[in-house]
Amino acid sequence: QVQLVQSGTEVKKPGASVKVSCKASGYTFTANFIHWVRQAPGQGPEWMGWMSSSSGGTFSAPKFQGRLTMTRDTSIGTAYMEMSGLTSDDTAVYYCARGSGADNWRRLDLWGQGTLVTVSS
Amino acid sequence: DIQLTQSPSFLSASVGDRVTITCRASQGISTSLAWYQQKPGMAPKLLIYAASTLQSGVPSRFSGSGSGTDFTLTISSLQPEDFAAYYCEQLNTYPSTFGQGTKVEVK
């Protein structure tokens, strides 16, 4: 079954870091990029960055540069997203998504179920 | 960053209605635009990519068109399962950006 399965709900205090995992199955993990998207309560999706699952190369949106780290373990087909310096504004559901296609045919065609991260003192 | 403006933000419609949602980009993005459907508590689901290509498994009542800065998503005959939020996303230039969304509600 082709799917992305994410780790569970996290509750963190302001200033802490969080690490979310995203395990791929049913396809060749290194054949696609993994993107991270978050969605604050009642808001639309916000794109955070992508990682090449084969090379490990990354690109983060300027808003998250310096706080966002994306890594992967190809031996177990799992991507990770770590965010540091959390504030209440980082409370959101975090999604991983598979990137497919190139140029005008890029799209996010497979999504994880989401991981709720709550930042509260 | 490229801004995407969707309209309307809310849309009340009935089963069987033809529904059109627009997405305008702040600069030209060729046809590098995707449309997603999202239901409460669920992840977004890809409907359309490359502005007009239907994702595998998506019903043919969904269609997309446009290029450059102006795009549309059309549902030819709204079904009960189509009441949801819809988002456009541009992938022409990183950072990728999403529209603010259109919520399709029961009239």
A104: which chain B residues are within 8 Å (Cβ-Cβ)?
A: 30-32, 50-51, 92
Q: Report the distance separating Cα A98 and Cα A115, nearest Å.
A: 16
Q: Which of A 8-37 lie inside 8 A of B, CB atoms?
A: 35, 37
Residue A100 has what pLDDT? 93
- Where residue A60 falls among pLDDT bands split at 50, 70, 90? very high
Tell me which residue in B50, B98, B101 faces A47 most closely, judged by beta carbons: B98
pLDDT at B34: 98
Q: What is the pLDDT of residues A76-100, one digit of tens each?
A: 999 999 999 999 999 999 999 999 9
Please tell me the predicted confidence (pLDDT) of residue B37.
98
CB contacts, 8 Å: A95 with chain B: 43-44
A74 alpha carbon, distance to own chain's centre: 16
Residue B22, min C-alpha distance to chain A (Å)? 16
pLDDT per residue, tens digit, chain B (107 aa), is: 999 999 999 999 999 999 999 999 999 999 999 999 999 999 999 999 999 999 999 999 999 999 999 999 999 999 999 999 999 999 999 999 999 999 999 99
Could you tell me if B89 and B98 are in contact, meaning their C-beta atoms sit under 8 angstroms apart?
yes
| Torsion angles phi and psi, residue A64, rounded to 5 | -105, -5
pLDDT at residue A51, as a whole number: 97
What's the half-sphere exposure (Cβ side, CA atoms, 13 Å) at B16?
Answer: 0
- 3-class state of residue B66 by DSSP: strand
Chain segment A9-38, per-residue pLDDT in tens: 999 999 999 999 999 999 999 999 999 999
Instruction: Measure A112 CA to nearest chain B CA, in Å.
Output: 7
Cα B46 to Cα A40, A85, A106: the distances in Å are 20, 32, 11
Say which residues have a Cβ less than 8 Å from residue B84's Cβ, sequence separation at least 6: B37, B38, B39, B103, B104
Residues 6+ apart with CB under 8 A from A66: none
Predicted local distance difference test score (pLDDT) of residue B84: 98
